[in-house]
Amino acid sequence: MLDLNLESRAATLNARYRNHAAVQVLRHALADPDLGRVALVSSFGAESVVLLHMLSVASPDTAVLFIDTEMLFPETLDYQRTIAERLPLTDIRIIRPDAGAVAAADPDGTLHRRDTDACCDVRKVVPLERALSGFDAWITGRKRFQGGQRTALEFFEPEAPSRLRVNPLAHWRPQDVAEYMDENALPRHPLVAKGYPSIGCAPCTSPVRAGEDPRSGRWRGSEKTECGIHFIGGKIVRGPVPVETSPAEAMPAVARTAGPMPSDAVRVDAARPSDAVRADAAPPGTVAPAAETPADAAPSADQPESQPMTEMPTATIVALPDAPVLVRDDGFHPVAGEPTVSLPPDTDPASLGQYLNAELIAVEFPAMTDGRGFSLARLLRELGFAGRIRATGGLIADQYAMARRVGIDEVQISAALARRQPEPQWLARADWRDWDHRSRLAG
């Protein structure tokens, strides 16, 4: 049974994940019983692909709600189709406004000129509220750097009367978004190159000039700054959120279970086989939280699936600025030892037998989304290889547990990545010990 006090639930979750990075917040939010059933709401806008990609790796079957207001740019609709085809998301729901409500409120399509709030309400707020009726929480891509009411964003927010909002990217900076897109070769929204850093409906979105706030092109010339879906009840609410619910109104928490699909929703099933994206390999982009929660702070004692940092061994070795390091269970180490062979991800499994007497084998990961190296490592162990396996290339901290589970002993990372993802972030992935390859092979 979910705690009915929204403020209490949000405070508990913020304390629980205060020292976590974006990927961890997203991954745990999808399974935390204090959130219940969760959906991601995406505009498929300028930066939406980051969160969509993270979700496609962490939990591709999670519901994604896309509100087609029927006034979006054609480029946005094309981009939505491109992303749906590119990422292995299996439950994309296209939500459209009720035709009768639109005909009554905006018969000639000019309501946005007279009353932008009313237009947003009939085309976006009401349809989304209806689509979210079966969920206990929803994930957004909002960030503090976007300004306005977003500058004080927390990871978890109460939304009366009975939902929570999750903002995994709340502490990200613009450069973090750009780096994530570059590292994962994600397609950009075509309007970004034309000066649109924030993209909404076509009639109410204009290009942004150099030096302007990224959202200054939304409803330009008016005091409006939000469409309404990110307010509580369509209005900005400050202070505690009043909650008037009864136990009878509470809904059971079923982690990662899709809610009912409204009658006006169109499901887009974009599932397809992919050897480039793994559901058990979380993406990069884990960045330091804001100043009040430094990235090297220890996770809270109740961090799921990880033992407290105070119980973990610490390492005093610090990599030189331009030197790669090896990540092992006790921390960072200088790179030592030359592999007998370095296996690319397309190595023929039938050829692995010739390497079983080697002391050290390197398994290459050209990109973090390329999971074939995990399969190679597992096959080596199943064939009886007893030496050391070193992962090289594109792995990041959230993939360390997976690497250890399949029999990889150490991960070689660049100095730049070691600075972005310091030792505590790697050591926090300690849950592999109960599921390592030896235990799995032993049954």
What is the pLDDT, as a whole number, of residue 237? 34
Element (H, E) at 190: none
Q: What span, in angstroms and rounded, lies between the C-alpha atoms of 347 and 287?
A: 33
Question: How much of the chain is in helix, strand and coil states, percent to nearest 5?
Answer: 35, 15, 50
Q: How far apart are CA 190 and CA 282, in angstroms?
A: 26
Regarding beta strands 64-67 and 92-95, do their DSSP bridges make them parallel or antiparallel, or are they unpaired?
parallel
CA 141 distance to own-chain centroid = 9
- CB within 8 Å of 261: residues ≥ 6 apart: 93, 267
248: CB partners within 8 A, 6+ apart: none
Handedness of CA 120, 125, 126, 130 (dihedral sign): positive
Is the Cβ–Cβ distance between 48 and 82 less than 8 Å? no
Residue 332 sits at the vertex; the CA angle it makes with 327 and 336, to the nearest 5 degrees, is 75
For residue 68, the tally of other CB atoms under 10 A from its CB is 18
DSSP letter for each residue of 197-223: SS--BGGGB----TTS-TTTTBTTTSS
CA 130/CA 3 separation, integer angstroms: 23
Identify the CA nearest to 303 among candidates 399, 424, 410: 424
Alpha-carbon torsion 368, 51, 427, 384, what sign?
Answer: negative
- pLDDT tens track, the chain, 443 positions: 455 688 888 898 888 887 788 888 888 888 888 788 999 999 998 889 999 999 998 899 999 999 999 989 999 999 999 999 999 999 999 999 999 999 999 999 998 888 888 888 899 888 988 999 889 999 998 888 766 666 778 899 888 777 889 999 988 888 888 888 888 889 999 988 888 878 888 888 888 877 776 667 676 666 554 444 444 433 433 233 333 333 333 333 333 334 444 444 544 444 333 333 333 333 333 333 333 333 344 434 333 343 333 333 333 344 343 689 999 988 899 999 999 999 998 888 899 999 999 999 999 988 766 778 888 998 999 999 999 999 998 888 878 887 888 899 999 998 888 887 888 878 776 554 443 333 333 33
Q: What is the structure's pLDDT at 265?
A: 52
DSSP secondary structure, 19-81, as one string = T--HHHHHHHHTT-TTT-SEEEEE---SSHHHHHHHHHHH-TTS-EEEE--S-B-HHHHHHHH
**Peptide bond before residue 33 is cis, with ω within 30 degrees of 0:** no
**Catalytic annotation, residues:** 227
Terminal C-alpha separation, the chain? 34
